[in-house]
Chain A
Amino acid sequence: MEADDLALVERARAGERDAFRALVVRFQRKVYAVALGIVKDPDLAWDVAQETFVRVHRGLGDFKGDSAFSTWLFRIATHLSIDAVRRERSARKEDVDEVRESDLEDGGEGILATPLGTDPRQNALRRELGEKIEEALATLPEKHRTILVLRELEGLSYEELAERLGIHKGTVMSRLFHARKKMQAALREYAGIRGDADRDGEDET
């Protein structure tokens, strides 16, 4: 697929509009999903995703192919998303990245104690859960949303996250830890799911 991307990039660089169009169609939803995860607002995410492709088109001549096209594309999407959030947000107390003992206290246990099955009748439940997850994600600070989205949606490694976000690997790990903890706490609050130690235990088979 990567070779396929590069072939389209080459054609787009040569001025073939349909090749660039194909690249947009190929990545539009995932770029939008990354932007939505970071900026929260669907319309702003739409604008960020569009701006991403406009910038990519503008920079095609400079794309050397040292990294995968998708890596380059999502790097631009990430930076534009973060910029968009920072422009909009009011000054707020920053959360620390270090992990303290108090952070290890329980919170969020029992979430999804019933594993999500593959029964199609659970689709409605999953859709509803998806909305709750999005709402919960929206409550996280920008840096926690961003790292969680990049880790889960783009599948970036610790090293790649460090490079993308300009932080140390240790900070990546602790920031991810906080992001996950906050996500679980927010899910519990938004989904109205209560802890259930017994059910929790049953799942550990």
Chain B
Amino acid sequence: MTRRSFILAAAAAVLFSAVPIAARADVPVHVRVIKGSRRGPKQVDPRLDALRRQLSALAYVNWQETQERRVTLVKGRTEFVQLPDGDMAGITLQEERGTIATIEVALASRNTQSRLTIEKGQRIVHQVTGERDGAAFFLTIAVWP
């Protein structure tokens, strides 16, 4: 590299370093739809082991994973997850700071909107359907899985 081209490259680096901060925010997430039942054997799907502590707070005894998806959330854009009851859950990254993310979960057909801040290693567990026949569906979101 000649001295002149080095100077030009360095100057170009200064020039093009002005990338908008907001445009860089994206967070990979692991989204799962899980079903909790009051009846059936007391059992947690082995894939849901990491969720045991959160799930233990609930009255459901049988937990099964029904859907799983990995997606990268881009700030301000909503990703949709189709739910078993026909509703849609919208997941939106609202803010990302280091290892902390604020995520909004909204259910299209309900007046339900939750804004939740979690750290890497934590998970959101959000009920997404009403209980029917002793069972209900939940959405779980892990950031930077």
Q: Which residues of A lie under 8 Å from residue B78 when comparing CB positions?
A: 25-26
A67 within 8 Å of B (CB atoms)? no
CA distance A55 to B100 in the complex (A): 37
Asked if A155 meets B100 with Cβ closer than 8 Å, knowing A1-B77, A21-B108, the reply is no
Question: B22 to A22, Cβ gap below 8 A?
Answer: no
Question: A22 to B80, Cβ gap below 8 A?
Answer: yes
A118 within 8 Å of B (CB atoms)? yes
Give A119's nearest chain B residue, CB to CB. Answer: B98
Q: Which residues of A lie under 8 Å from residue B77 when comparing CB positions?
A: 1, 26
Q: Which residues of A lie under 8 Å from residue B100 when comparing CB positions?
A: 120
B90: which of A1, A18, A26 is its contact (CB, 8 Å)?
A: A26
CA distance A66 to B90 in the complex (A): 27
Question: B97 to A123, Cβ gap below 8 A?
Answer: yes
B20 within 8 Å of A (CB atoms)? yes
Question: B22 to A29, Cβ gap below 8 A?
Answer: no
Determine how close the nearest CB of chain B comes to the CB of A86; give it in whole angstroms: 27
Interface residues of B (CB under 8 A from A): 20, 22-23, 76-78, 80, 88, 90, 92, 97-100, 106, 108-109
Given contacts A29-B92, A33-B76, 10 further A-B contacts (CB under 8 A): A1-B77, A21-B108, A22-B88, A26-B78, A29-B76, A118-B99, A120-B98, A120-B99, A126-B97, A155-B23
